[in-house]
Amino acid sequence: MEPSRTSPNERASPRSATGRRGACSGTTTRLDLYVSHYVDYDASSPPLPGPGSLKNCFYKGAPVICGPGGLQPSIGRLFHNEGNGTFRDVTQGSGLVIRPTGYGLGVVWSDLDLDGDLDLFVANDTTPNWLYRNDGHGRFTEVGAMSGAAFTEEGRAQSGMGVDAGDYDNDGRPDLIVTNFSHDYSTLRHNDGGMMFTDVSIPSGIGLATMPTLGWGVGFLDYDNDGRQDLFIANGHVFPNIDDRHLGTTWKQHNQLFHNEGGGRFLEVTSQAGPAFEELHSARGAAFGDIDDDGDVDIVVNNIDEPPALLRNDGGNAAHWIGFRLFGARRNRNAVGARVTVSAGLLRQTREIHAGSSHNSSNDPRLLFGLGSSTRVDRVEIRWPLGRTQVLTDLPIDRYHIVHEPDKEAQ
């Protein structure tokens, strides 16, 4: 991939809100809003964690900024779209955690149990992740621990930063990837069905390769259009003085690209991915989309104290592809929550439309499917957000198709 440059990035807001994601959380077509929060403190006099009168906080002997440990967590909030331009806080009574016990960062809505409504996953920093099962009527049940999504396979909470949901093994169920702190690994969780997940980070090849890095933005993407979703991770440390300690990690880091080899295995191909991956940055957000409309996925990465980088994909469209821009009926015009399944020969792939994922990022609303060795698409099935199903056949490939939600159920 070739690097391109755009205007300098804006600095992050000092507020504790760390992720905002829209989704239809109940039975209406209006997009509701979940806002994750990090900490509550007086910015003019932030407290120091731990007992005594410490003058500094330390990480492996290096003086660093404090937190989040020892600081007061702030609860995430769910806002119901009233349909008149206002939102109502419905956190109380929704089933969401209302005790300040998690430092929320990454957020993604996805139909993880395939029951037709969007569930909510929150990646928490140094505290167990939350996974909320949606009953479809505005009520949620937190099932993170019992589902295997809250902790690693060793039972540890991690420092969740970014998150994405995607079906990397083409079994029709969205899996989860969560980026974490350095000296720990990014966590790939396989969706086993029934809202149960298995930590496959180490056997997949993701775990050991991500130990030295501190990951932020992350995304499932099929960068070579072979019909299997690969992984991109944007990396960069939070401590600018970490280089002085020689701890096996650095302030500026390489971003990472992993090729999906099939069979549940990923191979890191960062060193072969082009000049964009040779550069060192302290990266944060990452967003994905076909910037130049050539049929492959490009990447935009936000960097600390530097301009953002545009990583143009110059080889992904060697294989055939097909793409879709969906427009929902009524108020959910971006069709957030829609699922599209493309069947091409023996290849069957499913994607969802998300309102946002990664780390403080939002992607191209279009869905792009690589077709591998296939030269035609047999069938496209769209499940719209409120459950209506539409089937399309005989669609030409190597182009984007605009599809509007029908007024009546497709026959």
Query: In angstroms, how far is CA 371 from the centroid of its own chain?
Result: 23
Residue 353 is assigned to a structural domain of this protein:
no
Q: Are 213 and 249 in contact (CB under 8 A)?
A: yes
In this structure, of 83-87, 99-103, 251-255, the range with the lowest mean pLDDT score is 99-103
At a CB cut-off of 8 Å and minimum separation 6, what does 233 contact? 179, 186, 210, 213, 215, 216, 217, 218, 255, 256, 258, 286
**In this model, does residue 55 exceed pLDDT 70?**
no
The enclosing domain of 272 has a CATH number of 2.130.10
Number of folded domains in the chain?
1
Q: What is the pLDDT of residues 166-179, one digit of tens each?
A: 999 999 999 999 99
Domain residues for the domain of 102 are: 2-317
Residue with tokens 């396979």: 153
| Phi and psi angles of residue 45, each rounded to the nearest 5 degrees, phi first | -150, 70
Residue 102 is assigned to a structural domain of this protein:
yes
Residue 371 is assigned to a structural domain of this protein:
no
- Amino acid at position 241, single letter: N
In this structure, of 37-51, 75-89, 94-108, the range with the lowest mean pLDDT score is 37-51
DSSP state of 5: E
Residue 130 is assigned to a structural domain of this protein:
yes
Residue 137 is assigned to a structural domain of this protein:
yes
Residue-averaged pLDDT of the chain: 90
Residue 11 is assigned to a structural domain of this protein:
yes
Give the C-alpha separation, 36 to 13, whole Å.
14
Give the C-alpha separation, 163 to 301, whole Å.
15
Give the C-alpha separation, 269 to 265, whole Å.
13
Residue 383 is assigned to a structural domain of this protein:
no
Whether the CA torsion 78, 81, 82, 84 is positive or negative: it is positive
Query: So what's the pLDDT on residue 22?
Result: 47
Give the C-alpha separation, 94 to 98, whole Å.
10
Q: What is the pLDDT of residues 264-305, one digit of tens each?
A: 999 999 999 999 999 999 999 999 999 999 999 999 999 999
Query: So what's the pLDDT on residue 165?
Result: 98
- Classified as helix, coil or strand, 67 is coil
Which pTM value belongs to this model? Answer: 0.90
Q: Which residue has the higher pLDDT, 1 or 346?
A: 346
Residue 327 is assigned to a structural domain of this protein:
no
**In this model, does residue 37 exceed pLDDT 70?**
yes
Q: What is the pLDDT of residues 230-250, one digit of tens each?
A: 999 999 999 999 998 888 999
